[in-house]
Amino acid sequence: MPGPTDPQADAFLWGAATAAYQIEGHPLADGAGACIWHEFSHTPGTTYRGHTGDLATDHYHRWPEDVALMRELGLSAYRFSIRWPRLLPEGVGRSNPAGLAFYDRLVDALLAAEIEPLVTLYHWDLPSALQYRGGWANRDSAGWFAEYAALAGRLLGDRVRRWITLNEPMVVAVDGHLRGRHAPGIRNVFVTARVIHHQLLGHVAAYRALKAEHGGLAVGITLSNTAVWPATAAAPDVEAAEMAHAWRNFPLFLEPLTFGRYPPELTELLTAYLPDAWEADVEAMRLPPDFVGLNYYSGERVRHDARSWLGFAVVQEPEAPRTAMGWMIRPEGIHRILTQAHARYRPRSVFVTENGAAFVDRQGEGGVHDPARTAYLRAHIREVLRAREEGVPVDGYFVWSLLDNFEWARGYARRFGIVYVNYPTQERVVKDSGLWYASFARKRTVAKEAVDATA
Ligand code: IFM
């Protein structure tokens, strides 16, 4: 059984994650171009109380303090994203020296602090100039993304080994292009299907572009997941759960990348909306990622519902414990997602690239006491390590998030950080959950018993 003396324990990454638009602030500083979230959040009625990422956590200026904080917490890795229009204000073509210098310095500082940087290329901040050309609905997006990936790889590939192309492409497709509650605020199912398809093409193009810059890089993709259980053992509910899982979770992206086809449960549905000649594209997408990033927050029971578009409905469970997002707390779901992904796709390496919870936090004299978040992290980490013991090749865990930040349409009204941000002063205060996570992460153990042993 892996224990503190397990030679692999040291290689396991215990980290925290953030995303550029959510923390940096100053989106137009020093020659950067606008992105879709800048335009969306500045459009009245789109975000909680009109909140924007204009200042966010001011990480653009406070990054040295934030790197020092991570070092104090004993983290071995940091997952952050590059803001595409900071490097390429128009999305393609002319690059911006100040944007390049920002990420260059950040990576050097992380390495000096012995923190491994993991870079996400796309965490939802598409350059506005590219949205005006159709954004991800335009097939050319794959080429635009590859150009950006090559530039980023040229800049940082000598120091950053692990790269994530896309963060949660299903959220981009559904929240941004079907429900319209995220940027760019579109509601069109044909566009949604194209956005799924073109992000896959973009992932493959970026994968190749990064490898062409530096052959030794490990390139993966990060996918969103909600664990799904059938409400009953009856066949219609079981089928409904399979449909929900294929649509919302890793299969929609790993099936094409592993087997060169869309998940069988979804093919008929998608065919109605996909661009012509999609079959040839999808066959050519067969290029398994070097690692898979899985994000997990919540789990649900679903039942058959003939009236709903996809044939399933979420079972209402008023008594279930929830986070401040209203998401049901189901630690066993992270184990379910990890083992399901392993069983079907056998990825070479897996990272939990996001896991965490929003709760209502208050800054008091003695710090920020958030026992519910500590309990959430402890329970989920225990399940991750259980999956690892059972053979899932999990190589790291990243708490979402390092800092409280701009939670998209919910603005600053939801706090996910293990570090509290006092927004008026920008003071950072490590929450009790952050102190707990640090005490655990510092042990560099992968023994699940150690989770319980940590005070
Ligand atoms: O804040 C987001 C993050 O940007 C993507 N994954 C889910 C988080 C919580 O909603």
Over residues 229-256, the pLDDT tens digits come to 999 999 999 999 999 999 999 999 999 9
3-state secondary structure of 299: strand
pTM listed for this prediction? 0.97
Q: 134 with 186: CB under 8 angstroms?
A: no
Exactly one of 24, 116, 168, 255 is catalytic; name it: 168
Residue 4 placed within a domain: no
pLDDT tens track for 201-221? 999 999 999 999 999 999 999
Residue 227 placed within a domain: yes
Number of domains in the chain: 1
- For the Cβ of 168 lying below 6 angstroms from any atom of ligand 1, the answer is yes
Residue 3 placed within a domain: no
Separation between Cα atoms, residue 312 and residue 309, nearest integer Å: 8
Q: Is 354 a catalytic residue?
A: yes
Ligand 1: which of 354, 398, 399 to mutate, most ligand atoms within 8 Å of CB?
354
- For the Cβ of 407 lying below 6 angstroms from any atom of ligand 1, the answer is yes
Residue 126 placed within a domain: yes
User: Residue with the nearest Cα to atom 10 of ligand 1?
Assistant: 407
Distances (CA, A) of 333 to 31, 235, 295, 336, 395: 43, 21, 11, 5, 18
Residue 1 placed within a domain: no
Strand partners, 292: 221, 350
How many Cα atoms sit within 13 Å of 42 on the Cβ side?
11
pLDDT at 240: 98
Q: How far is the CA of 407 from the centre of ligand 1 (A)?
A: 7
- For the Cβ of 205 lying below 6 angstroms from any atom of ligand 1, the answer is no
Check which CATH number belongs to the domain holding 166 and give it: 3.20.20.80
User: Residue with the nearest Cα to atom 1 of ligand 1?
Assistant: 407
pLDDT at 10: 80
Residue 405 placed within a domain: yes
Separation between Cα atoms, residue 378 and residue 260, nearest integer Å: 37
Instruction: Kindly give, in sequence order, each residue whose CB lies less than 8 Å from that of residue 181, ignoring residues fewer than 6 positions away.
Output: 175, 409
Residue 208 placed within a domain: yes
Q: How far is the CA of 427 from the centre of ligand 1 (A)?
A: 22
Q: 47 with 152: CB under 8 angstroms?
A: no
Q: How far is the CA of 193 from the centre of ligand 1 (A)?
A: 22
Domain holding 41, by residue range, is 9-453
User: Residue with the nearest Cα to atom 2 of ligand 1?
Assistant: 407
**For the chain, which ranges sit under pLDDT 50?**
1-4
Ligand 1 atom closest to Cα of residue 408 = 1
- For the Cβ of 405 lying below 6 angstroms from any atom of ligand 1, the answer is no
Separation between Cα atoms, residue 455 and residue 451, nearest integer Å: 9
Ligand 1 atom closest to Cα of residue 401 = 1
Ligand 1 atom closest to Cα of residue 358 = 9
Q: How far is the CA of 413 from the centre of ligand 1 (A)?
A: 13
pLDDT at 452: 86
pLDDT at 3: 44
Residue 2 placed within a domain: no
Exactly one of 116, 354, 383, 407 is catalytic; name it: 354
